[in-house]
Structure 1
Amino acid sequence: MDRLRQSLLDTPITEKDGYQYFVHPISDGVPMLEPELLREITVRIIQEVDLDGVDKIVTPAAMGIHISTAVSLSTDIPVAIIRKRSYGLDGEVSLSQVTGYSESEMYINDVEAGDRVLVLDDVLSTGGTMTAILDALTEMGAEVADVLAVIKKVGPNELDDTDYEVKTLINVDVVDGEVVVVDEDGDF
C-alpha cells in the first residue's frame, strides 16, 4: 500500500469555509491518476472484499467509476453506476443523498431484488451517501456482499449508528494542513 499512502501524504490541501479538504487523484481526479496507483488499489480491493457470487459492482457517480471499472476489468463483474440524473428506465429507483456538503437525488438502475452486489466508493467522509445507497439497495432486495471505500476520513459519520460495515484501504485525517495516516488497513 506504499503508493496510496505516499500519494495521500503528498496530496495538496485546500480550505473552504473552514473545512480542510485533501485533493487526491482517487477522490477528485486531480492531480492526475497514475496507472500504478490505480493498479495497486485494484489489487488490494480484490484481496479485501468478498467476491463470491457477486453479480454486480455498484458505485456512485462520479469518482467511484474509475475504481469500479478497474475492478470490473480484473474480475469480469459488470458495473452499475448510481447516477445523479433520472433516465426513467423500468426498475429505476430514486434515493435521497444527504452529505455534509450537499443534498440531491440519485438513481439506481440495473440492480434487482436478489442481486448480490459489491458497493465501491472513493472516499467515506460524512457517510451520508453510503448510508443512502445501502438503505436503498436493502429496500430493493439486493444482497450487499461487501462494501469498500478506498479512503476514509476519520471522525464520526452517519454509518456509526447502523449495522453496515464498510471496509477501507486507508484511514486519514487532515491536521494543520497535512494529511495524517491514521490506520493503513482499517475496517471500521
Structure 2
Amino acid sequence: MTDSSVTHVSPTISSAVERLMRRVEDFPSAGVQFCDLTPVLADPDGFDAVVRGLIAGHEIGTVDYVAGLDARGFLLAGAVAVRLHTGILAVRKAGKLPPPVHSRSYELEYGAATLELPADGLDLRGKRVLVVDDVLATGGTLTAAVGLLEDCGAVVAGLSVVLEIPGLGGRDRLAGTPLTCLTVA
C-alpha cells in the first residue's frame, strides 16, 4: 500500500450526492441517521456523477480490476469497471461462492463476518485493484477486503467510497491506502 492520501472530488459531485441522498432519522435504531444512497443511484445524472467521482485519480490502464464489495459495491464497481475498461471482482460474503475460496474474517460491532474470492480460475498476483464500496464507517469491511486481495497477491491501488461517516475510525484503519470519498455524512 502507498501513502494515506485522501482525494476529495469536485464540489459539484459532492453536492449532487448531498442533494439526492435521503436522510432517515432514528434508523435502524434510535439516535442513528441513515443515509440512503438509493435515490442517488436511481437518478441518471446522480449515478453518473458518483461513477465519475469514484474514478478520481484513475485512468484506463492504471488498474487491472475493480473490486466491488457485497452487495451495494457491486453496482458501483460494475459501472466503474466499464469506464476504466477493466475486469470486475465481486468480493462476496461467506457462503455465496462454491469452494475453494480465499477468505478473510473480521470483527464487526455485533459479531464477525467473512469475505471471499474464488481460489480457482483467478490469478491476482501483481494485479492492481481499485476497491469500491458505498460507505466507509468503521473501516472493518474495507480493511478485510484489502487484506483478502493482498493475501491473493494483488496490489491495492486505492479505495473509493461514496460516503464517509466520520468519527468511527474508518479512515484511520485504512491509513496507508489512497482513499477517495465523495462526501461526508
Q: How does 1:104-119 map to 2 (within 5 A)?
A: 104-109=113-118, 110=122, 112-119=124-131
Alpha-carbon separation, structure 1, partners of 2:159 and 2:117: 16
Answering whether residue 77 of structure 2 is matched by residue 64 of structure 1, we say no
Aligned match of 2:152 = 140
Uncovered stretches (5+) of structure 2, i.e. residues with no partner:
1-12
Contact 1:55–1:115 under 8 Å retained in 2 = yes
Aligned match of 1:13 = 25
49, 53, 62: which is aligned to 2:62?
53
Name the aligned partner's letter for residue 74 of structure 2.
I
Alpha-carbon separation, structure 1, partners of 2:60 and 2:167: 28
Alpha-carbon separation, structure 2, partners of 1:142 and 1:32: 29
Contact 2:54–2:132 under 8 Å retained in 1 = no
Answering whether residue 53 of structure 2 is matched by residue 44 of structure 1, we say yes
Q: Tell me how far 1:117 sits from its aligned partner.
A: 0.6
Alpha-carbon separation, structure 1, partners of 2:104 and 2:137: 19
Q: Tell me how far 1:158 sits from its aligned partner.
A: 4.9
Contact 1:12–1:24 under 8 Å retained in 2 = yes
SS in 2 for 1:112: coil
Question: More deviation in 48-57 or 37-46?
Answer: 48-57
Alpha-carbon separation, structure 1, partners of 2:79 and 2:67: 13
SS in 1 for 2:106: strand
90, 93, 97: which is aligned to 1:87?
97
Uncovered stretches (5+) of structure 1, i.e. residues with no partner:
173-188
Bigger relative CO (Cα 8 Å, ≥ 6 apart): 2
Aligned match of 1:131 = 143
After superposition, give the CA deviation of every residue in 1:2-38 in whole Å (9 maximum; x if it has no partner): 3112123x5333333444132413xxx4687212211
* TM-score, length-scaled by structure 1: 0.76
Answering whether residue 86 of structure 2 is matched by residue 74 of structure 1, we say no
Quote the sequence identity (%). Answer: 23
